[in-house]
Amino acid sequence: MKKLFENKVAVVTGAGGTLCSEIAVRLAEEGAKVVLVGRTAEKLQKVADKIVANGDTCLVYPCDVTDKEAVDALAAKVEETFGPCDFLINGAGGNNIKAMPTITKFDERELTGELPEGERGLYNIDLDAFHGVLDLNTMGTVLPTLAFARQMAKNGGGNVINFASMNTYCPLTRCFAYAMSKAAVSNLTQSFAAYFAPAKIRINAIAPGFMVNERSKNYLGTVEEGLTKRGEQVIGHTPMGRFGEASDLIGCVKWLLNNDAAGFVTGITVPVDGGFLTLGGV
Ligand SMILES: NC(=O)c1ccc[n+]([C@@H]2O[C@H](COP(=O)([O-])OP(=O)(O)OC[C@H]3O[C@@H](n4cnc5c(N)ncnc54)[C@H](OP(=O)(O)O)[C@@H]3O)[C@@H](O)[C@H]2O)c1
């Protein structure tokens, strides 16, 4: 039986991470030739081992998505190895704790250096780290999109999926750089979708809710073994009463990439959030 994405070329950035490792494996299962991109070769290799063990096809390519030269070299390698890219999943993204204050509201002691040991206000954060978060989530989406849309345009079309967040809609406390950059991801999804529509390139985004990963277990806890205060707030706001799993995103990914199912859909951001956005918090 023909698979859904037989012989499509899918580039997945952030493919060593929690969400996009699963997406990469599942696209490969559907017959796509998958290019695994991230900075750490070992993380990518673990995902590649799984794909190869399933009898599917992939290429590991370590690359920093904020480095234009490296991204252009990646695009050339993909075209040479598998042919032009059909699908780009811009999954590389994230936050940096050094870009976040530890306190949720202004405290005048942050101006005088008198905050208690270990506490950090907005005036005490590392601005280079702040800039790095903006760069990763915005230019780390823009640069691969430009590099691969060139191939898609020449090849008669393609599909891009970006990664937004619940912060796209309303910022969480302390997440300044992450929140503003994820709002930008939704915005650039719209403007790039409009620009590339004549080239038959559809560009959409997924906004995952609160998904389980190793980091989230530390700062949110788990429903089964106990939640932190922040975890209780999240679950209290999530009508479905649980955190999401990477597998919860797969249906949405397949729908957006499938021209038969979503051929008239472009420029949208789809929340996959257990209903988090349905509640105002009261
Ligand atoms: N998990 C959630 O709850 C959640 C919720 C909403 C949105 N999201 C978004 O969904 C996407 C995937 O999240 P995730 O939970 O799977 O994150 P993750 O586990 O931290 O994976 C992100 C991956 O991105 C790679 N990466 C980071 N900087 C990079 C760079 N400059 N160049 C290339 N690769 C880079 C990292 O690998 P290296 O360090 O090896 O490069 C990492 O494997 C992210 O955009 C995230 O912001 C996640």
Q: In the chain, what are the domain boundaries? A: 9-209+244-278
- Candidates 20, 63, 269: which one to mutate for ligand 1, based on the most atoms within 8 Å of Cβ? 20
For ligand 1, say whether the CB of 90 is within 6 Å of any of its atoms: no
Choose among 138, 139, 140, 108: nearest CA to 122. 108
The Å distance, Cα 19 to ligand 1 centre, comes to 8
Distance (Å) from CA 260 to ligand 1 centroid: 29
Pocket of ligand 1 contains residue 160 by CB under 6 Å: no
274 CB less than 6 Å from ligand 1?
no
- Best mutation site among 13, 90, 165 for ligand 1 pocket (most ligand atoms within 8 Å of CB): 165
pLDDT of 14: 98
Q: Which residue, by CA, sits nearest to atom 13 of ligand 1?
A: 19
Token pair 């250096």 is at which residue? 113
Distance 95 CA to ligand 1 centre (A): 9
Nearest alpha carbon to residue 186 among 280, 244, 271: 271
Q: Whole-angstrom Cα distance, residue 255 to residue 269?
A: 13
Cα–Cα distances in Å, from 195 out to 37, 72, 91, 117?
A: 25, 20, 21, 50
Can you tell me the distance from the alpha carbon of 161 to that of 151, in angstroms, rounded to the nearest whole number? 16
- 3-state SS, residue 280: coil
pLDDT at 273: 98
State residue 148's pLDDT score: 99
The two tokens of residue 143 are 């640069």
Tens digit of each residue's pLDDT, the chain (282 residues)? 889 999 999 999 999 999 999 999 999 999 999 999 999 999 999 999 999 999 999 999 999 999 999 999 999 999 999 999 999 999 999 999 999 999 999 999 999 999 999 999 999 999 999 999 999 999 999 999 999 999 999 999 999 999 999 999 999 999 999 999 999 999 999 999 999 999 999 999 999 999 988 788 888 998 888 999 989 999 999 999 999 999 999 999 999 999 999 999 999 999 999 999 998 777
The rounded Å distance from CA 114 to ligand 1 centre is 34
pLDDT of residue 224: 86
Taking CA atoms only, the protein residue closest to ligand 1 atom 17 is 17
Which class in CATH covers the domain with range 9-209+244-278?
alpha beta
**For residue 227, what are its two tokens?**
């939640």
Which stretches within the chain are classed as H helix? 18-29, 41-53, 68-82, 109-112, 127-134, 140-154, 176-196, 214-219, 229-236, 250-257, 259-262
Q: Whose CA is nearest to atom 45 of ligand 1?
A: 93
> Ligand 1 centre from 103 Cα, in Å?
24
**Which residues are known catalytic residues?**
178
